[in-house]
Amino acid sequence: MTATTYQPGEIQGLIKIDASKCKGCDACKKFCPTNAIEGASGAAHSIDQDKCVGCAQCLVNCPFNAIEETHSAIETVIKKLADKNITVVAIPAPSVRVAIGEEFGLGTGSLVTGKMYGAMNKAGFRIFDCNFAADLTIMEEGSEFIHRLHATVKGDPNAGALPQFTSCCPGWVRYLETNYPSLLPNLSTAKSPQQMAGTVAKTYGAKIYDMEPEKIFTVSVMPCTAKKVEASRPEFNDAWKYHKEQGSRAAEYPDVDAVLTTRELAKLFKMLDIDLASTPEYKGDSLFSEYTGAGTIFGVTGGVMEAALRTAYKVLTGSEMAKLEFEPVRGLKGVKEASVTLFDNELSQNVTVNVAVVHDMGNNIEPVLRDVMAGTSKYHFIEVMNCAGGCINGGGQPIEGTGSSWLGNI
Amino acid sequence: MSKKSYLFAEDSFFLSRRKFIAIGAAFAAALALPVGWFSSKLERRNEYIKARTEGLYKDDAIAKLRVSHANPAVEKYYKEFGGQPLGHLSHDLLHTHFVDRTKLS
Ligand code: SF4
Ligand code: SF4
Ligand code: SF4
């Protein structure tokens, strides 16, 4: 059997170069984090799918619109929305609310949560904000970090590995799985917010919605194409496994049924004649639209770390951080670092936690990983996001902040 | 002029033509992406990154609650269903495992 980097059932070849449109200009190579793009200057390029993490940074930066996605769930989602027996649940990521307005003529970066909810409601979705799941991620991933930290300080030989890496970016996770398998124990075992949301929508959510889980169709809306590949991982059917253990005999279903990018959600709204810009604001329809400021900043580089520190500080010291904005992890520097010294109630001593934040993975991650491999890393907790700036600049976002490719088809 | 040198001249003509085609291809690429394309692209990119970043920081700043552990819906989830972070149900539903992709076939 030939080697592959895909598990059975996973989407392969999501991002493809159309050789007839490619001018061989090499722009995509400069934006590819994994050196997956092959081809000489001036000749048509192609993507090595085994190296590719599906992030579409090449796609959004190709000046000739020569790169395309091979999977779209728009038609399927529209069919499900028309089916009255199905509850279709939209799971919008943080970054969607500051970008989808661009597709409807609103300014770059406009925050349109209420209008987005309104348009989703009009289209027939229930709303399960992925930001709620981001808050849940912080509870799990933060607790996990504190657990590893305490076990390490106490000298427990089975303490989980430090530094702990964040695990919410599927581009980064696939990269590590493909290139540095020896570092997998360092990844937080917490699922990404998308995957937590899908699982919760079909377990606890089935109670809240009073629906049979197999009649709930979960549609995550992501700034990210790699999230499509993530949702297709065969192990992500935990809601089905849970209900099976409870005696359900329903046929297998995934936790996340479909993934739309921000661009695709805008297209779906347009196909359904919904103008987001003129849609009145809507507040949401269940506890799953309640989220905090910590959940929403997951979309920017440093945001997961900042959110985690806010909660870890409270758990360790018993009091809230005096100033919630944690400036050292903000901004566009490739690798940001910070040290936080705090009094740990459980250990009755001061502890210093060293954190690092890496984005624009292809340009910044290697030295960090080399240190971790060599055992010389000074960090305890490292956030990694594949895309420059974080998910707000993901490969599924409106192109160039204007909703259209800057050169179009030449 | 000897026949030989004539052949040589012809040879060198074809050589330079091939070279010319190669240069032409590179030139086409250079035309496609003018000098400075990359840096101006990065500049524009960083502008929309900043605009969207501001949008999310604003969402945080205006939020009534700004820390995950204070989300009442999250509290409700654990109380009515999930138990506690890292608990049994969290292990089954909210955590995962990873795959060594160098060993797949
Ligand atoms: S950026 Fe687009 S046109 Fe240029 S080499 Fe890559 S795929 Fe081809
Ligand atoms: S999708 Fe991402 S990893 Fe794949 S070729 Fe494009 S830039 Fe590279
Ligand atoms: S940084 Fe965000 S948008 Fe980019 S690949 Fe990772 S999860 Fe997707």
Q: Which atom of ligand 2 is nearest to the CA of A47?
A: 5
Both A181 and A205 in one domain: the answer is no
- Catalytic residue, chosen from A68, A140, A144, A177, is A144
C-alpha closest to that of A227 among A54, A76, A359: A54
**CA A232 – CA A73 distance, rounded (Å):** 13
**CA A44 – CA A17 distance, rounded (Å):** 8
Q: Point out the residue among A2, A43, A95 whose CB comes nearest to the CB of B52.
A: A95
Per-residue confidence (pLDDT) for residue B9, from 0 to 100:
41
Which CATH number goes with the domain that contains A168?
3.40.950.10
Identify whether A205 is part of a domain.
yes
In the listed set A270, A293, A316, which residue is the last one of a domain according to the structure? Answer: A293
**CA A192 – CA A7 distance, rounded (Å):** 18
Task: Nearest chain A residue to B105 by CA: give it.
Answer: A3
Q: Point out the residue among A27, A108, A178 whose CB comes nearest to the CB of B51.
A: A108
Helix (H, G, I), strand (E, B) or coil at A162: coil
Identify whether A314 is part of a domain.
yes
Identify whether A9 is part of a domain.
no
Give me the DSSP letters along A273-285: T--GGGSPP---S
Ligand nearest to the CA of B52: 3
> Are A298 and A134 in contact, with CB atoms under 8 Å apart?
yes
Residue A335 in contact with ligand 1 by CB distance below 6 A: no
**Amino acid (one-letter) located at A224:** C
Q: Test B53 with A389 for CB contact under 8 angstroms.
A: yes
Both A368 and A221 in one domain: the answer is no
Tens of pLDDT, residue by residue, chain A (410 residues): 578 999 999 999 999 999 999 999 999 999 999 999 999 999 999 999 999 999 999 999 999 999 999 999 999 999 999 999 999 999 999 999 999 999 999 999 999 999 999 999 999 999 999 999 999 999 999 999 999 999 999 999 999 999 999 999 999 999 999 999 999 999 999 999 999 999 999 999 999 999 999 999 999 999 999 999 999 999 999 999 999 999 999 999 999 999 999 999 999 999 999 999 999 999 999 999 999 999 999 999 999 999 999 999 999 999 999 999 999 999 999 999 999 999 999 999 999 999 999 999 999 999 999 999 999 999 999 999 999 999 999 999 999 765 444 333 32
**CA A311 – CA A135 distance, rounded (Å):** 10
Q: Which atom of ligand 3 is nearest to the CA of A168?
A: 7
**CA B43 – CA B40 distance, rounded (Å):** 5
Size of interface A-B (CB pairs under 8 A): 242
Identify whether A406 is part of a domain.
no
Distance from CA of A67 to the nearest CA of B (A): 16
**CA A151 – CA A10 distance, rounded (Å):** 36
> Are A175 and A360 in contact, with CB atoms under 8 Å apart?
no
CB within 8 Å of chain A, chain B residues 39-58: 41, 44-58
Identify whether A400 is part of a domain.
no
Both A225 and A184 in one domain: the answer is no
Give me A288's structure tokens. 């799953």
Query: pLDDT digits over B59-104, tens only?
Result: 999 999 999 999 999 999 999 999 999 999 999 999 999 999 999 9
In the listed set A293, A314, A349, which residue is the last one of a domain according to the structure? Answer: A293
Both A336 and A376 in one domain: the answer is yes
Both A52 and A29 in one domain: the answer is yes
**CA A260 – CA A258 distance, rounded (Å):** 7
Active site residue A337: no
Distance from CA of B7 to the nearest CA of A (A): 31
Sign of the CA dihedral with B56 first, then B61, B63, and B66 last: positive
Give me A121's structure tokens. 């409601």
> Are A71 and A232 in contact, with CB atoms under 8 Å apart?
no
Task: Nearest chain B residue to A315 by CA: give it.
Answer: B69
Packed helices A113-123 and A262-271: angle between N→C axes, nearest 10 degrees: 50
**CA A324 – CA A309 distance, rounded (Å):** 9
Domain range holding A177?
136-190+299-393
DSSP state at residue A209: H
Active site residue A391: yes
- Catalytic residue, chosen from A141, A264, A306, A383, is A141
Both A116 and A210 in one domain: the answer is yes
Q: Which atom of ligand 2 is nearest to the CA of A14?
A: 1
Per-residue confidence (pLDDT) for residue B25, from 0 to 100:
52
Active site residue A141: yes
> Are A359 and A389 in contact, with CB atoms under 8 Å apart?
yes
Identify whether A216 is part of a domain.
yes
> Are A202 and A241 in contact, with CB atoms under 8 Å apart?
no
- Catalytic residue, chosen from A28, A32, A130, A168, is A168
- Going from the C-alpha of A103 to that of each of A81, A108, A404, the distances in angstroms are 22, 9, 8
Query: Is pLDDT of B7 > 60?
Result: no
Both A51 and A62 in one domain: the answer is yes
User: For chain A, how many structural domains are there in total?
Assistant: 3
Which CATH number goes with the domain that contains A89?
3.40.50.1780
**CA A25 – CA B103 distance, rounded (Å):** 35
Residue A57 in contact with ligand 2 by CB distance below 6 A: yes
Both A246 and A275 in one domain: the answer is yes
Q: Point out the residue among A30, A139, A191 whose CB comes nearest to the CB of B68.
A: A139
Q: 3-state secondary structure string, A179-196?
A: HCHHHHHHECCECCHHHH
Sorted by sequence, the CB contacts under 8 Å of residue A404 that are 6+ apart come out as: A398
pTM: 0.92
**CA A235 – CA A238 distance, rounded (Å):** 7
Which residues of A227-366 form beta strands (DSSP E)? Answer: 258-261, 335-344, 349-358
Ligand 2 centroid from CA A32, angstroms: 5
Q: Cα dihedral angle (A339, A344, A346, A347), rounded to 10 degrees?
A: 80
Per-residue confidence (pLDDT) for residue A285, from 0 to 100:
95
Q: Which atom of ligand 3 is nearest to the CA of A54?
A: 5
Both A43 and A64 in one domain: the answer is yes
Both A180 and A277 in one domain: the answer is no
Both A116 and A223 in one domain: the answer is yes
Task: Nearest chain A residue to B56 by CA: give it.
Answer: A297
Ligand 2 centroid from CA A215, angstroms: 34
Ligand 2 centroid from CA A33, angstroms: 7
Pairing type for strands A67-69 and A15-17 reads antiparallel
C-alpha closest to that of A219 among A125, A331, A114: A125
Ligand 3 centroid from CA A387, angstroms: 6
Helix (H, G, I), strand (E, B) or coil at A49: coil
In the listed set A293, A326, A342, which residue is the last one of a domain according to the structure? Answer: A293
Q: Point out the residue among B51, B63, B66 whose CB comes nearest to the CB of A401.
A: B51
Both A95 and A157 in one domain: the answer is no
Helix (H, G, I), strand (E, B) or coil at A14: coil
**CA A62 – CA A76 distance, rounded (Å):** 28
